[in-house]
């Protein structure tokens, strides 16, 4: 069975909805949850997730608030929670302080796409190990085989393979990039490979995971939270439709 990872931005639609959304995702059958930490300049994200970041910040979401929400429900959560964000707010918070708080709040791992691998090895890898946190790097169709193997060696938990060279939710994302997916599948990687960016339906999910271990859905799910008044029912139906 291919793994389903659902992403959403913390602090939307309302500041206090985060815990309910986490429980809803878990109870609907997803295998892991990726939570976006809102940031004022989310450069890797498309318009939907940028809008979610704006709303979350307006609602008052902060790293501190998110970690406190997670800590309050950690005993109810049985699937991995990964925090995704940008390095600057984490450094402002204090990297080791952040890792310690993540560990206390039931977080399994981190994705910080703008943290360079060399910096990671030099300054942060040991701190993450100390607090038993996984760290995931991203690869793209432009990443060479040699660099994929290198990034996989630094990663733990899973390796994030971006479906195409685009921002999240891009309508033109090339989901079925056969040569790229075959190339990844042929490499001696130690981590499971999860494909993300542009997956909106069960067909998309099944297509991209033929040669991978799972898929990550973000924009399509965030859209429900932003646009649907009855988002709880719609979100459950959406996850069920992918897992069915």
Give the model's confidence band at 220: pLDDT under 50 very low, under 70 low, under 90 confident, else very high: very high
Check whether 166 has a pLDDT greater than 90: no
**pLDDT > 90 fraction of the chain, expressed in percent and rounded:** 87
* pLDDT band per the 50, 70, 90 thresholds, residue 61: very high
Residue 62 backbone zone (phi > 0: left; psi -120 to 50: alpha; other: beta)? beta
pLDDT at 198: 86
Tell me, what CATH number does 49's domain have? 3.20.20.70
- Mean pLDDT throughout 151-160? 98
Give the structural domain span for 37.
3-243
pLDDT of residue 163 exceeding 90, the answer is no
Whole-model pTM?
A: 0.94
Which residues have a catalytic role annotated? 34, 45
Mind listing the pLDDT tens digit for each residue in 92-111?
999 999 999 999 999 999 99
Domain total of the chain: 1
């Amino acid at each position: 069975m291919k793994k389903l990872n659902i992403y959403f931005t913390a602090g939307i639609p309302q500041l206090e909805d985060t815990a309910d959304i986490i429980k809803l995702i878990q109870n609907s059958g997803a295998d892991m949850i990726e939570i976006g930490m809102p940031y004022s300049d989310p450069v890797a994200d498309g318009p939907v997730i940028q809008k979610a970041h704006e709303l979350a910040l307006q609602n008052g979401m902060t790293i501190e608030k998110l970690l406190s929400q997670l800590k309050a429900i950690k005993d109810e959560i049985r699937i991995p929670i990964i925090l995704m964000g940008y390095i600057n707010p984490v450094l402002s918070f204090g990297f080791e302080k952040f890792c310690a708080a993540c560990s206390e709040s039931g977080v399994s791992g981190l994705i910080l796409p703008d943290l360079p691998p060399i910096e990671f090895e030099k300054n942060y890898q040991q701190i993450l190990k100390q607090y038993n946190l996984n760290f995931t790097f991203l690869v793209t169709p432009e990443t060479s085989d040699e660099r994929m193997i290198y990034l996989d060696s630094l990663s733990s938990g899973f390796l994030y393979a971006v479906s195409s060279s685009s921002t999240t939710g891009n309508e033109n994302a090339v989901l079925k990039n056969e040569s790229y997916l075959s190339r990844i599948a042929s490499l001696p990687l130690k981590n499971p490979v999860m494909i993300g960016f542009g997956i909106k339906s069960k067909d998309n999910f099944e297509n991209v995971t033929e040669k991978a271990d799972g898929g990550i859905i973000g924009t399509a799910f965030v859209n429900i939270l932003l646009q649907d008044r009855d988002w709880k029912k719609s979100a459950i139906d959406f996850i069920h439709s992918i897992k069915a």
